[in-house]
A and B are shown apart, each in its own frame.
Chain A
Amino acid sequence: MRVSRSELFAGRAVLLVLVAITVLPFISIFTTALHPSGDVPPGLDWPADPQWGNFLEAFRVANMTSLLVSSVFIVLAVVPISLVISTMAGFGIGLLRIPGARWLLLLFIFGLTLPFEGIITPLYFLARSMGILNTRLAIVLPLIGLFMPFAVFWMRAHFVNMPNEISEAARVDGASTWDLFWRIHVPLAMAPIASLGILMSVWAWNQFLLALVLVEDPSQRTMAGALGAFQGHYATDIPLLSAGTIVILLPTLLLFIVFQRQVISALLQGSVKG
């Protein structure tokens, strides 16, 4: 493709502007976080005496250690279970093609369009009647359910494309359906499973509404849910709030930067399939 010099220049300029606009908010909150606690600093201003301690302070006042433990617990409870059961379901629908598979698939797809807030009210009363309100289970169980449409859809898309020969060969060797699934197909599905795992981890980590409604105590919530509470408590102290925000978004940011390729391709494939 030949591109004229002026186009090259203009195009790159536009791109740089867009990148700058995207990054500026991050820089702004970062410089804000370094100002003395209690200040109301201007938007972009490198402080004379950067208060790196603000991050530690935010870590302390937000009770970050227990938050991290809580969020990690939620992710560790939600993601593996979701992976296992959605892979099984994807296998059943996509590969075994059980009778009614098409309807089942449509049922799950329907869930893809469902706004969380559409069912949050009954979820609250359900959690209450199950006696799990205010515990992490109140986030974990509904979240697994809410992840199912996407997760099943995703895994089914993988299995539906697996050539039949693999299964047939295994059948000839006398493998049971479970063996077929566990010994043959799961190892072959590791790539989509890993992508799905990363995706669901990020989503669970960032989940706000469930945490807000179903768990009162911020230290039992997800990171995003806790951030909402943190904002309530420290709304006046802008540098501290900024530092807290950074501390809370850092894990997903780092996860993204490390697993950049996987996350992007996962998100994209996911939405393309969806």
Chain B
Amino acid sequence: MVTTGMDRTRAPRRAGPLAVLALLVAACASPGAVTQAPTTAPTTAPTTAPASGEAPSGSAAAPSESAAAAGPNCGTDPVTLNAYFETGFDLPFKLSDEFTKQFPNVKWDIKQDQFTNLMSSTPRLLSGDNAPDLIRLPSMVSLVKDGLLKNLDEYVTAFGWDKFPPAQLAQNRVAADGTRGSGSLYAAGLNYSLTGVFYSKKLAQQIGMTQPPTTVDEFEALLAKAKAANLLPIMAWNATASGGGLAFPLQNLMAAYGPTDPINDWIFQKPGATIDTPTNLTAAQHLEQWVKSGYFPKDVNAIEYTDANARFGKGEGVFMFNGDWQDAGYDKDQPQGVGFFVFPPSQSGGKVAAMSAPLTYGIAAKAKNADCAASFLNWVATNEKAREIDVAVGGSNPGGPPDLPVPPAAAGSVINETLAAGAQVGKDNGAMDFIANATGSIFAQGWTPELQSLVGGKEDAAGLLKAVQAEYEKELSR
């Protein structure tokens, strides 16, 4: 029960549900022993990429060196890549169009679905007869455990991905013991998103904000000013269907009042990790204070992700915590009217931190065209045109080799601000995964209901952290 948007940061969130046949044979005399016939290939109608005027005009570029020359490639015979994309995001469609333009022998059979549905169907899709060559991955660990994802280590050497900044690939590595962050590579990011605070330039000016706040205190002073000026300080979403969006400001506050390492440890399930720390309590108390001060919409518990963006786009709310995947949307709703800053540290001059996650795509272990799909992933990271599309449509840093420049976006676009902010976060080594990704259902069963309770006055800051930690331990004990 999740919509898009947050999914970006939440990528490897729930243990991807259901399905898979091969492994079941082992489990006799148990429910798993139901005899499994191979599933038929889903008969989804192929979808063509939606047209949109925002993509850079595609000049038929010559096949890029990196994809064609080095390592595995798509060859010259006609090949049809079987792909599963996430509904609502143009980026992969635009990229696949461009790829075909450059490599005309490659055609696409693209199915799309909502993120929620992908979460439940991925295991079955991966294990089916017509396993996808390329698929948007909602989660990884369980898929790796079940042997459904292709180990990409051979491509790392073949394409020289080992020269990429290691942090880029770390989140897509899974170790033999099932922990994320190290081990073999099982997916690649089409790009690397960043979260922070968006603001309406017009409303910010109205409350006298001339430059982004440099401390939490300054930010809170701005919130108070906005409230006093009868403006909604923060637009946010917190409805069950989208999940608790208040986790964004909460995690930002956590990183402002404490170090990021313990947060990442907690997300990566390091033994003994806890979210219920004194600095996190301080952070949660600030959030609670914001709620009590009326800084969020009165109906935030009923606002879904898409509603929140639409209302922000119509000028409701000075600030909004969100990620750069929404850049294009903000540019469209309020051209040149939206700014961005990374959430400030508690002390002036302190290090900044932000949630950042790859837009994860993987290859089925049974994929028929794995080499071609891998060369597509490499092409996305290295081809100039692809990187331009990545930035212009996706709004995020394309990653890839450190020596390749990040293509600039259109002047006045908020994309340029998020890209610049990304560099700052990188410099401070402040990238975090998202606290909603810690376990399969920590978001749905922990953060979301608890944050909703905080809004509803049914829970306080201390209780929130305790409850989430209890849920976390319960889930890990299963």
Chain A residues close to B by CB (< 8 Å): 38, 40, 66, 124-126, 128-135, 216-217, 219-220, 229, 232-233, 235-236
Contacts and interface: CB of A to CB of B under 8 A. Distances in A.
Nearest to A217: B44
B37 interface: yes
Contact of A130 (B37, B87, B88, B124): B37
Given A40-B310, A131-B40, A217-B43, 8 more contacts: A125-B34, A131-B38, A133-B40, A133-B124, A134-B42, A216-B44, A216-B121, A236-B307
Top 5 A-B pairs, shortest CB-CB distance: A236-B306, A236-B310, A134-B42, A217-B44, A235-B306
A229 B19 CA distance: 22
B36 A128 contact: yes
A235 B40 contact: no
A38 B113 CA distance: 23
B40 A134 contact: yes
A239 to B, nearest CB: 12
B395 to A, nearest CB: 18
Given A40-B310, A40-B314, A232 B116 contact: yes
A177 to B, nearest CB: 37
Q: For chain B, what secondary structure do more than half of its interface residues adopt (helix, strand, loop), or is it mixed?
A: loop
B473 to A, nearest CB: 26
A125 B33 CA distance: 11
Interface in B16-38: 18-19, 21, 31, 34-38
B45 A134 contact: no
Given A129-B34, A216-B44, A216-B117, A134 B309 contact: no
Contacts of B116: 232
Nearest to B111: A217
A50 to B, nearest CB: 22
Nearest to A38: B310
Contacts of B34: 125-126, 129
Contacts of A38: 310
10 contacts: A38-B310, A40-B314, A128-B21, A128-B124, A129-B37, A133-B124, A134-B40, A217-B43, A220-B44, A232-B87
A220 B314 contact: no
Contacts of A236: 306-307, 309-310
B3 A235 contact: yes
A130 B306 CA distance: 38
A235 B2 CA distance: 12
Contacts of B45: 66, 217, 219
A235 to B, nearest CB: 5
B39 A134 contact: yes
B35 A129 contact: yes
B433 interface: no
Contacts of B39: 128, 131, 133-134
A131 B35 CA distance: 11
Nearest to A232: B114
B148 to A, nearest CB: 15
Contacts, number: 64
A128 B42 CA distance: 12
B42 A233 contact: no
Nearest to B32: A125
B36 A135 contact: no
Interface in B87-146: 87-88, 111, 113-114, 116-117, 121, 124
B304 interface: yes
A235 B3 CA distance: 10
Interface string B47-88: 000000000000000000000000000000000000000011
Contacts of B306: 235-236
Contacts of B304: 235
B37 A131 contact: yes
A180 B307 CA distance: 62
B40 A132 contact: yes
Nearest to B125: A216
A39 to B, nearest CB: 10
A134 B43 CA distance: 7
A219 B111 CA distance: 12
A128 B44 contact: no
Nearest to A213: B120
Contacts of B18: 124
A232 B42 contact: no
Given A232-B114, A233-B88, A217 B36 contact: no
Give the residue among A66, A135, A217, A220 with the most B Cβ atoms within 10 A: A217
Contacts of A40: 310-311, 314
A150 to B, nearest CB: 28
Nearest to B314: A40
Contacts of B21: 128
A99 B39 CA distance: 40
B114 A235 contact: no
Contacts of B88: 233
Nearest to A229: B114
Nearest to A234: B306
A171 B18 CA distance: 55
Given A124-B18, A134-B42, A220-B43, A232 B3 contact: yes
Nearest to B304: A235
Nearest to A235: B306
A135 B42 CA distance: 7
Interface in B160-210: none
Given A128-B36, A131-B37, A236-B307, A217 B42 contact: yes
Nearest to B38: A131
Interface in B285-326: 304, 306-307, 309-311, 314
A1 B474 CA distance: 67
A131 B314 CA distance: 47
A69 B114 CA distance: 22
A216 B38 contact: no
A190 B459 CA distance: 61
Contacts of B44: 216-217, 219-220
Contacts of A232: 3, 87, 114, 116
A133 B36 CA distance: 12
Contacts of A229: 114
B50 to A, nearest CB: 10
Contacts of A220: 43-44
B456 to A, nearest CB: 22
A126 B114 CA distance: 24
Nearest to B115: A232
Contacts of A66: 45
Contacts of A219: 44-45
